[in-house]
């Protein structure tokens, strides 16, 4: 006939398991520790590589000097050149005045 064991608490079950398998948790946690060590060493290696790359990039940025822009002088606006050409073709004379900043637009504005 089948004998049903008496109910046990969780603490009793754990004690019996540890008594039957004395080295189980030592092996279990050793495996977890070794995995954690491997992950930690891999992350440290990646961080060191990223730091070295950033440092090399910063060094190159310091050593690289920007080249001056080779712009033609004087710069002319192509839109204004087109307007002047159109005005000349139509027979209009366009006056170009250069006025200092802050000067009034016309002599009548000062009176």
Mean pLDDT, the chain, whole residue set: 83
Name the more confident of 111 and 77. 77
Query: Is the previous residue joined to 74 through a cis bond, with omega within 30 degrees of 0?
Result: yes
Name the more confident of 30 and 100. 30
Structure confidence at residue 80 (pLDDT): 85
Write the DSSP assignment of 32-92 as a string of letters.
HHHHHHHHHHHHHHHHHHHHHHHHHHHHHHHHPPPPPP---SS---HHHHHHHHHHHHHT-
Q: What is the pTM of this model?
A: 0.40
Q: What percentage of the chain carries pLDDT values higher than 90?
A: 41
The pLDDT tens digits for 15-64 are: 999 999 999 989 989 999 999 999 999 999 999 999 999 998 888 877 77
* Mean pLDDT value of segment 76-88: 85
């Amino acid at each position: 006939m089948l004998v049903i064991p008496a109910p046990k608490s969780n603490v009793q079950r754990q004690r019996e398991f540890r008594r039957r398998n004395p080295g189980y948790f030592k092996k279990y946690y050793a495996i977890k520790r070794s995995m954690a060590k491997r992950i930690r060493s891999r992350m440290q290696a990646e961080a060191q590589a990223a730091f070295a790359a950033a440092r090399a990039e910063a060094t190159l940025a310091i050593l690289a000097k920007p080249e001056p822009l080779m712009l033609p002088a004087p710069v002319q606006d192509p839109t204004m050149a087109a307007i002047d050409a159109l005005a000349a073709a139509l027979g209009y004379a366009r006056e170009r005045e250069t006025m200092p900043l802050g000067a009034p637009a016309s002599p009548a504005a000062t009176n």
